[in-house]
Amino acid sequence: MVNQSRQTDAGFTLIELLTVIAIIGILAALIFPTVGKVRETAQRTVDANNLREIVKAAQIFAADNNERLPDPAFIAAQSPSSLTGGQGPFLWAGILAQRGILTDPTFYFAKNDPQFSGIYPTAIVDPANKGQLDASFTTNRVLSFEFVGGLRMGDAPTTPVAFTRGLLVAGVWDASTAVYRETGGHIAFLGGNVQFYPNTTESANQLTLNNGRKGNALLQALPFSANAASNPRVYATPPAGIGSLAGIPAERAP
């Protein structure tokens, strides 16, 4: 009779199991930040494309409005106002939506923006009243971009039209309230190009100022004249950088 040895199935020992878990943890620590960075970069690309489309829409509007891009101050000054229910930055977007040029509210919100709730408005302009901004677009909303009102198509192609919210007068994006925090932001120009700046001090002298020189003060990169009423203004929803609901006027470059 042949003796048969009993065989037992070999399994992981506790040390082997802990080793495998440790390796998985190390790999996860290496991979997850990379995945997050790729996702953030991809979203910034989406935001840049949205800004590009917003500028295109503003240029289409200008073609039918004496070469003037959206100007909340001009709209608000009309009596009666042709669009109500919000202030500067909301009016800037509403002007385009009211004309049927850019009606999608998702273009004005960045998913990476800490101020964005993740829920998009249903409309920019009230579907039942084209002279009224939709409440879902204006109520407790912080737009992810700041806008320049009062520009003309004849202005220099290097003129900023819109940019990521949170750019400060000092030329850097606010570390606590900006869309990408201290990472930087986009600036979209009248010429149609959109540029991402880590911040304007690290990329010093990237803007063309209204005195013809290079600098990084965005308000000084806007057209300026002695007639203060005709100068462009920067509009934004708080917490903003340069802009405000009422609009911050352009400055003369020294």
| Each residue's pLDDT tens digit, 99-143 | 999 999 999 999 999 999 999 999 999 999 999 999 999 999 999
pLDDT higher than threshold 50 for residue 149? yes
- Closest Cα partner for 65 from 50, 82, 52, 48? 82
Collect all residues with Cβ–Cβ distance below 8 Å to 55 and sequence separation of at least 6: 161, 162, 188, 189, 190, 192, 194
pLDDT higher than threshold 70 for residue 3? no
Q: Is it true that the peptide bond before 114 is cis, omega within 30 degrees of 0? A: no
Distance between CA atoms of 244 and 233, rounded to whole angstroms? 9
Calculate the dihedral angle through the C-alpha atoms of 238, 134, 55, 167, rounding to the nearest 10 degrees: 10
Report pLDDT for 82.
86
Say which range, 13-17, 64-68, 191-195, 232-236, has the weakest mean pLDDT.
13-17
Q: Determine what percent of the chain is predicted with pLDDT higher than 70.
A: 88
Distance between CA atoms of 93 and 107, rounded to whole angstroms? 10
**Cβ atoms of 104 and 96 closer than 8 Å:** no
**Cβ atoms of 70 and 61 closer than 8 Å:** yes
Collect all residues with Cβ–Cβ distance below 8 Å to 108 and sequence separation of at least 6: 50, 54, 93, 124, 143, 144, 145
Distance between CA atoms of 198 and 204, rounded to whole angstroms? 10
Reported for 197-204, long-range contacts at CB under 8 A and 24+ positions apart, including other chains, are 199/171, 199/172, 199/173, 200/167, 200/171, 200/172, 201/170, 201/171, 201/172
- Closest Cα partner for 246 from 164, 96, 236? 236
User: Region 48-55: what's the mean pLDDT?
Assistant: 97
Q: How far is CA 5 from CA 8, 9, 28, 127, in A?
A: 10, 13, 43, 83
